[in-house]
Chain A
């Protein structure tokens, strides 16, 4: 954001003063407490090959053991990582990163070539990376990934060992978030070549350049360790000596382990655990950048093309009851499409600025009025709709609850259908539904990652809601206003308002992660988007 305001003044601006956030001036450990953290995961670590990783555990482990150009920080900020500083050209298309002298865990230097190699490797068709799409703003990335251009044509070049030049197709102000993601981390070519097909499958078949080194992971086991990396450039600010990660899948077992002090941090699961601990001093609920919403098929059902019908549906739902009573897991009612507490400008949360109260709160009297009006306009007496969702417990609870809420509208009949995730997805994409509960998890903390979903031609716009004003606003945010942070922000705020005023979707709830973290553990950082957890500032008091 800072970048854009300076760029407005014109000229190439050097941002060398990215000061380290955080308090780390005390390098010596305070007290005699053992600096060891025992952290619970509920699933295994599938891979450490960042070109192939797709899951949460891989993302946070990679973030702890490796480091990209920039580092994600709280409140949607980035701090310097391997790059000391960076500059953005006037047209916003060329990003130049100046790298510090830092080392891999084998003692060799981390250079710009490691980044070039890593990005090229991810985009090589043979690698079959499932996250290749996230590079799509980089010049030639899509072509390279489709095998239509040589990898060398990719818009990333090393200018000497410590300067990396990235060329984009079009300006992307949130590119700074992307380079903080694990997919953009460096990979050492000689290590990848040396370990071959074993690369990233066990802790010993990897090199690390982050705050910690992974040890004791044989690729499939249920516990592993991360120890402080003495080759890390910022090691004096890393207080934690050791982290033990334990996979515990059964919620009761996990809680028992916490209560007998075998674990310092766990994720709670289920309403009872949360309601029992929500007043505990160790309890904290972390809001994820994931919104659940209802899509209404306007292509299949003419009745859903009526805005009053759509509004009535939204107004009939008591979202508080859904999150507090049905889930009771710390989730909160959604306040629009874009997740709250994710994106900020000048300290203000996007969700506060772009909320349309009437489109995300219950008003049964008004709902019935609009419903009657809508029925009259469409010439219907009764409507019968099919509600599609996943066959997970949460999916089933949601459909059961929504059914009970929606059928309060006279003449509306809802039939529930819960299908396995992949089948549900296919049905949504084929437009084979009336109402479907969809979810979106943002890849980076910028509203555009949500807003781009509902442009007329987007393939994730399953309900086929169309609005030219919305399309223009999103297009401007990605195009003509991309370099003007203020205008871009306004475009995006306006876009959600248009979407909500027309009730293009019905926002339902935003997910959260309820956790118990022992009060002696200080400095755990959470981000609503990947990697979510960062332990580089943790200390045990």
Chain B
């Protein structure tokens, strides 16, 4: 039986038919090849909460930075006669949005009392100088976001460079740079910020510098750790062997691979910066009048919270929404960038 060679039939060596071909293709990678970032984006899109937050942030950015188009009044124009008016939205007659307010137990029409013209509407009310709160919140959001973004940019620029240099060079340079970081870490951020602001005179630039100077440390540590890991991987070794300059390696090979760490960390730096700006403005050494940030608006509103709760509620809500959105987006990004994290 075993000696019986199988007889070759015709057709055994025929070229593949189309049907056979499709059968064979199932072995191939069907999905289009995705880069790391594309893949992450795909993962991020599956996180509903993160996407909602992203949309909210985009809307807030557009509203605040395009606030010239949306604001209903000049945010800095004072109008003492129309001070402290409650919110009034055309066509809505619900207490809280119809321009009435409780005063000594009775609900009165504050707009009529202030002799405002019939067509006067402040959709979020006015502050103690008669400035439109809605416009001021938009304006304040813009200031808060600007401070956070600029500070984060410095944080990014300085922290990443510091981290890469420290990790890449290694040796005594790394040791020294790490000791410096350790020392900085044992000084409370706020102390450094406060001292700097006191010296630099309160104002936007002082806050930006103060936040930038204190926030890069975390970024530098994470980037360094990641660099150390990457440094010994084959593709970097290969690039080195091929004689690429360190600078080129850092830019072409390290940075793209550091992207996830950097972006995630940035998502947590921004809300921290926003918080510190609000905090500093709240205690009175932040953005100076007539400019407003969310912190100064909350601080002003807090003084009148018993009588005009809306003056604190609205800026506080906006601030909290920004913080929540950045935090959830940051969580979402972390999950998205981390292929190990279990997806539903």
A interface list, Cβ under 8 A from B: 251-252, 255-256, 269-273, 275-276, 279, 321, 325-326, 328, 391, 393, 396-397, 400-401, 404, 418, 420
Pairwise interchain contact A256-B78, C-beta atoms closer than 8 A = no
B303 within 8 A of A: yes
Report the separation of the CA atoms of residues A118 and B40 in the bound assembly, to the nearest whole angstrom.
79
Pairwise interchain contact B84-A272, C-beta atoms closer than 8 A = yes
Instruction: Select the residue from B80, B81, B104, B288 with max chain A CB neighbours within 10 A.
Output: B80
Q: Give B89-138 interface residues, CB cut-off 8 Å to A.
A: 103-104, 128-129
B304 within 8 A of A: yes
Interchain nearest-CB distance for B245 vs A (Å)? 51
Pairwise interchain contact A252-B80, C-beta atoms closer than 8 A = no
Q: Which residues from chain A contact B84 at a C-beta distance below 8 Å?
A: 271-272, 275
Pairwise interchain contact A276-B307, C-beta atoms closer than 8 A = yes
Pairwise interchain contact B308-A418, C-beta atoms closer than 8 A = no
- CB-based nearest B residue for A404: B78
Q: Which residues from chain A contact B104 at a C-beta distance below 8 Å?
A: 279
Report the separation of the CA atoms of residues A94 and B319 in the bound assembly, to the nearest whole angstrom.
68
Pairwise interchain contact A270-B304, C-beta atoms closer than 8 A = yes
Known: A272-B303, A326-B129. A396 touches B289 (CB 8 A): yes
B196 within 8 A of A: no
Pairwise interchain contact B128-A270, C-beta atoms closer than 8 A = yes
Interchain nearest-CB distance for A397 vs B (Å)? 7
Q: Which residues from chain B contact A321 at a C-beta distance below 8 Å?
A: 80
- CB-based nearest A residue for B302: A252
B342 within 8 A of A: no
Q: Which residues from chain B contact A252 at a C-beta distance below 8 Å?
A: 302-306
B54 within 8 A of A: no
Pairwise interchain contact B306-A256, C-beta atoms closer than 8 A = yes
Q: Which residues from chain A contact B305 at a C-beta distance below 8 Å?
A: 252
Interchain nearest-CB distance for A451 vs B (Å)? 32
Pairwise interchain contact A397-B129, C-beta atoms closer than 8 A = yes
B318 within 8 A of A: no
Report the separation of the CA atoms of residues A31 and B193 in the bound assembly, to the nearest whole angstrom.
57
B236 within 8 A of A: no
Interchain nearest-CB distance for A416 vs B (Å)? 9
Partner of B308, one of A272, A393, A400: A272
B11 within 8 A of A: no
Partner of B83, one of A256, A269, A273, A325: A325
Sort A-B residue pairs by CB-CB distance and give the 6 closest, nearest first: A325-B80, A272-B304, A396-B289, A270-B303, A326-B80, A271-B128
Q: Which residues from chain A contact B80 at a C-beta distance below 8 Å?
A: 321, 325-326, 401
B15 within 8 A of A: no
B290 within 8 A of A: yes
Interchain nearest-CB distance for B312 vs A (Å)? 10
Report the separation of the CA atoms of residues A418 and B201 in the bound assembly, to the nearest whole angstrom.
12
Interchain nearest-CB distance for A165 vs B (Å)? 50
Report the separation of the CA atoms of residues A498 and B129 in the bound assembly, to the nearest whole angstrom.
36
Interface size class of B (residues with CB under 8 A): 20 to 34
Ordered by A's residue number, 30 sampled pairs between the chains whose C-beta atoms are within 8 Å are A252-B302, A252-B303, A252-B304, A252-B305, A269-B303, A270-B128, A270-B303, A270-B304, A271-B83, A271-B84, A271-B128, A272-B84, A272-B303, A272-B307, A273-B304, A273-B307, A276-B103, A276-B307, A325-B80, A328-B83, A396-B288, A396-B289, A400-B78, A400-B129, A400-B289, A401-B78, A401-B80, A404-B78, A418-B289, A420-B201
Other than A271-B128, A418-B289, give 14 A-B pairs with Cβ distance below 8 A.
A252-B305, A252-B306, A271-B84, A272-B84, A272-B128, A273-B304, A276-B307, A279-B104, A326-B78, A393-B289, A396-B288, A400-B289, A401-B78, A420-B201
Pairwise interchain contact B290-A396, C-beta atoms closer than 8 A = yes
Pairwise interchain contact A400-B83, C-beta atoms closer than 8 A = no
Interchain nearest-CB distance for B226 vs A (Å)? 45
Q: Mark B304-316, 1 if CB is under 8 A from A, else 0.
A: 1111100000000
- CB-based nearest A residue for B308: A272
Interchain nearest-CB distance for B116 vs A (Å)? 14
- CB-based nearest A residue for B130: A325
Q: Which residues from chain B contact A279 at a C-beta distance below 8 Å?
A: 104
Report the separation of the CA atoms of residues A397 and B127 in the bound assembly, to the nearest whole angstrom.
13
Interchain nearest-CB distance for A363 vs B (Å)? 20
Q: Give B175-211 interface residues, CB cut-off 8 Å to A.
A: 201
Report the separation of the CA atoms of residues A273 and B84 in the bound assembly, to the nearest whole angstrom.
12
Q: Which residues from chain B contact A269 at a C-beta distance below 8 Å?
A: 303
Pairwise interchain contact A418-B83, C-beta atoms closer than 8 A = no
Q: Which residues from chain B contact A397 at a C-beta distance below 8 Å?
A: 129
Pairwise interchain contact A391-B303, C-beta atoms closer than 8 A = no
Q: Which residues from chain B contact A418 at a C-beta distance below 8 Å?
A: 288-289
Q: Which residues from chain A contact B83 at a C-beta distance below 8 Å?
A: 271, 325, 328
Partner of A325, one of B81, B290, B304, B308: B81
Q: Give B283-338 interface residues, CB cut-off 8 Å to A.
A: 288-290, 302-308
Interchain nearest-CB distance for B78 vs A (Å)? 6
Partner of A400, one of B81, B290, B303: B290
Interchain nearest-CB distance for A172 vs B (Å)? 42
Report the separation of the CA atoms of residues A391 and B202 in the bound assembly, to the nearest whole angstrom.
10
Interchain nearest-CB distance for B289 vs A (Å)? 4
Interchain nearest-CB distance for A278 vs B (Å)? 11
Q: Mark B247-266, 1 if CB is under 8 A from A, else 0.
A: 00000000000000000000
Report the separation of the CA atoms of residues A396 and B290 in the bound assembly, to the nearest whole angstrom.
8
Report the separation of the CA atoms of residues A275 and B101 in the bound assembly, to the nearest whole angstrom.
14
Q: Give B197-251 interface residues, CB cut-off 8 Å to A.
A: 201
Report the separation of the CA atoms of residues A276 and B101 in the bound assembly, to the nearest whole angstrom.
12
Interchain nearest-CB distance for A403 vs B (Å)? 10
Interchain nearest-CB distance for B101 vs A (Å)? 11
Report the separation of the CA atoms of residues A418 and B289 in the bound assembly, to the nearest whole angstrom.
9
Report the separation of the CA atoms of residues A401 and B308 in the bound assembly, to the nearest whole angstrom.
23
Report the separation of the CA atoms of residues A326 and B80 in the bound assembly, to the nearest whole angstrom.
6
Q: Which residues from chain B contact A396 at a C-beta distance below 8 Å?
A: 288-290
Instruction: Select the residue from A256, A271, A401, A418 with max chain B CB neighbours within 10 A.
Output: A271
Interchain nearest-CB distance for A515 vs B (Å)? 17
Q: Which residues from chain A contact B81 at a C-beta distance below 8 Å?
A: 325
- CB-based nearest B residue for A403: B78
Interchain nearest-CB distance for A495 vs B (Å)? 34
Report the separation of the CA atoms of residues A284 and B81 in the bound assembly, to the nearest whole angstrom.
23
Pairwise interchain contact B78-A255, C-beta atoms closer than 8 A = no
Report the separation of the CA atoms of residues A401 and B76 in the bound assembly, to the nearest whole angstrom.
12
- CB-based nearest A residue for B82: A325
Interchain nearest-CB distance for B153 vs A (Å)? 28
Pairwise interchain contact B303-A251, C-beta atoms closer than 8 A = yes
Report the separation of the CA atoms of residues A289 and B252 in the bound assembly, to the nearest whole angstrom.
72
Interchain nearest-CB distance for B246 vs A (Å)? 48
Report the separation of the CA atoms of residues A291 and B297 in the bound assembly, to the nearest whole angstrom.
30
Report the separation of the CA atoms of residues A397 and B290 in the bound assembly, to the nearest whole angstrom.
9
Report the separation of the CA atoms of residues A269 and B128 in the bound assembly, to the nearest whole angstrom.
13
Interchain nearest-CB distance for A249 vs B (Å)? 12
Pairwise interchain contact B306-A255, C-beta atoms closer than 8 A = yes
Interchain nearest-CB distance for B260 vs A (Å)? 44
Report the separation of the CA atoms of residues A396 and B201 in the bound assembly, to the nearest whole angstrom.
16
Interchain nearest-CB distance for A98 vs B (Å)? 51
- CB-based nearest B residue for A318: B80
Report the separation of the CA atoms of residues A328 and B303 in the bound assembly, to the nearest whole angstrom.
14
Interchain nearest-CB distance for B201 vs A (Å)? 8
Q: Which residues from chain B contact A393 at a C-beta distance below 8 Å?
A: 289
- CB-based nearest A residue for B312: A252
Q: Which residues from chain B contact A273 at a C-beta distance below 8 Å?
A: 303-304, 307
- CB-based nearest B residue for A325: B80
Report the separation of the CA atoms of residues A251 and B305 in the bound assembly, to the nearest whole angstrom.
10
- CB-based nearest A residue for B76: A400
- CB-based nearest A residue for B81: A325
Report the separation of the CA atoms of residues A15 and B4 in the bound assembly, to the nearest whole angstrom.
151
Interchain nearest-CB distance for B23 vs A (Å)? 77
Q: Which residues from chain A contact B103 at a C-beta distance below 8 Å?
A: 276
Q: Which residues from chain B contact A255 at a C-beta distance below 8 Å?
A: 306
Interchain nearest-CB distance for A508 vs B (Å)? 15
Pairwise interchain contact B304-A391, C-beta atoms closer than 8 A = no
Interchain nearest-CB distance for A418 vs B (Å)? 7
